[in-house]
Structure 1
Amino acid sequence: MLPYTYLLINFFTVIICFIFSFHPKIKFNRYFGAFFTASFIVAVVFIIWDAWFTKIGVWWFNDRYLIGIRFLKLPIEEIMFFFCIPFACIFTYFCLNKFFKLDWKPFWEKAFVISCIFLALMIGVYFIDKIYTSLTFITTACSLTVLYFVLKVRWIGKASFIYLILMPGFLMVNGILTGTGLESPIVNYNPKDFIGIRILTIPIEDTVYGYELILWNIFFFQKFKRNDLAETSLG
């Protein structure tokens, strides 16, 4: 059973959300095309990042928890991670956004975004010798800058709040991946490449990495969802 551990983590992450996607009051299944298009675009970038970090030894995977199929030297389960986690997050975002008004007032959202950008930049620059820490925080600062000031999105506050709501689930999934409840971690990290602050067994960088992943998934999902709606109305 051990070789199916990571595969089962992906499965249980997504299965409830997938089933409820067909609920008549939600109808998220209408946007599967938009989700997979968006998720694929974002996944390509993060898989390349993942493969590079694996190659240079920033992190590596414990074969005892894997079925053994690899792509770009990454476990197939790790590839699936970049679709399963976003699916659960985008589904939750879609539902909460559908049934609740979670928009932030412009002043507070702008203040939040600017604060996050400066904080992320300061951490990234200060720990420039830690490649996982530095790259994760600096690219997140750049992503926030591009999304808010260039692409003019106005849902970052709302998305950040929903990401916070999802944090217990994120910590549970990433906790198992990083060793919580297991004899040894599924994903191992090189101590010299991150600052060493952990939430239980989870490097703090993972929460920022996940945040950036979800922000870009939401951006492209919103874009392709609008296209789907336009095509539906034309049809």
Structure 2
Amino acid sequence: MQYTYLLVNFFTIIIPFLFSFHPRLKFHKTWCAFFPAVFLTGLVFVLWDMLFTKMGVWGFNDRYLTGIEIGNLPLEEVLFFFCIPYACVFTFHCLDLFMNEIGGSKMQKIITLFLVAFLLIFGTIHFSKSYTATTFFSFALLLLYAQFILKINWLTRFYVIYAVLLIPFFFVNGILTGSWIEEQVVWYNPEEFMNFRIGTIPVEDAFYGAELILMNLLIYKYLLNRKKAVAAANLKTTAL
């Protein structure tokens, strides 16, 4: 039982990792952008995780852990911020290769503003609940930054692909929150979230996961585009 969380991480990443070398997908060729993205995003989320663990917002069941710790976090929890983004960014990369344009800039703006309004309203209503307020406000700010500062044009594709990712997300997070096993791997302080669950999963987890993946994608795609721009400039210089 002590390897439960470690095995969840392993089985989350193993198939995406093996298919990263598929000749049609070639995800491994984007690692130069993925690894900086996952490190920078992981640093933010690990620090957030350490703070909330110290505050007692959530915690971990030693029964399902190897006992190796980094700071006040189990090793498995730190690995979570690499394994889950790897699987999700890989999936985005694959679906994005074959997905046609969805909607347009107007539809993207409407969906984003609706989500931001929802997050701000419920974040304000539950301002006293640390997990709810922090997740909803920070995700709303990230969406506004992506839409109006970065002006990215792939947010609608992100929404659609993340909706697909929610299927394995609910399975993985279901295990971690106590579905199909005797106890929870990760427990939550009921005073710090809305206490509305989908099965055993706090609804905040879906937005927390979306923020985690979107932050990874924003850095990942920025680095990929910069690499392409440098390559194009070098090619132009060589041609001259």
Q: TM-score, normalised by structure 1?
A: 0.96
**1:102/1:5 CA distance change after superposition, 3 Å:** farther
Asked if structure 2 preserves the Cα contact closer than 8 Å seen for 1:109 and 1:156, the reply is: yes
For residues 174 and 5 of structure 1, what CA distance do their matches in structure 2 show? 12
Q: Does the aligned pair in 2 maintain the 1:117–1:145 contact within 8 Å?
A: yes
Q: What is the CA distance between 1:232 and its match in structure 2? A: 5.3
CA deviation profile, 1:189-227 (whole Å, cap 9, x unmatched) = 001001111011000000000011111111011011223
Q: Which runs of 5+ in 2 are unaligned?
A: 236-240
Match of 2:132 in 1: 133
Separation (CA, whole Å) in 2 of partners of 1:202 and 1:231 = 44
Cα offsets for 1:163-188 (capped at 9, x unmatched): 00111100000000000011100000
Alignment match, 2:18: 19
Q: Secondary structure at the match of 1:213?
A: helix
Structure 1: state its 5+ residue gaps. Answer: none
| Alpha-carbon offset, residue 231 of structure 1 | 5.3
Are 1:142 and 2:141 counterparts? yes
Supply the distance in 2 between the matched residues of 1:227 and 1:4 (Cα, whole angstroms). 40
Contact 1:175 1:202 in 2 (8 A): yes
**Secondary structure of 1:104's match?**
coil
Aligned-partner Cα distance in 2 for 1:188–1:102: 40
Stretch deviating more after TM superposition (102-111 or 159-168): 102-111
Q: Equivalent residue for 2:67?
A: 68
Give distance in 1, aligned partners of 2:99 and 2:107: 19
SS in 2 for 1:8: helix
Q: Identity, % of aligned pairs?
A: 45
- Give 2:238's aligned residue: none
Please, which moves more after superposition, 13-22 or 148-157? Answer: 148-157
CA RMSD of aligned residues (A): 1.2
Query: Structure 2: how far apart are the matches of 1:213 and 1:101?
Result: 24
Deviation of 1:230 after TM superposition, in Å, equals 4.4
Structure with bigger gyration radius: 2
Aligned residues: 234
Partner residue in 2 for 1:198: 197
Alignment of 1:145-224 (within 5 A): 145-224=144-223
Q: Distance in 2 between matches of 1:89 and 1:49?
A: 20
Give the CA deviation at 1:33: 2.0
Distance 2:26 2:125 in 1: 45
Aligned to 2:51: 52
Q: For residues 184 and 75 of structure 1, what CA distance do their matches in structure 2 show?
A: 17
Q: Secondary structure at the match of 2:78?
A: helix
Task: Indicate the SS of the match to 1:60.
Answer: strand
Distance 1:125 1:96 in 2: 35
**CA separation in 2, counterparts of 1:17 and 1:166?**
13
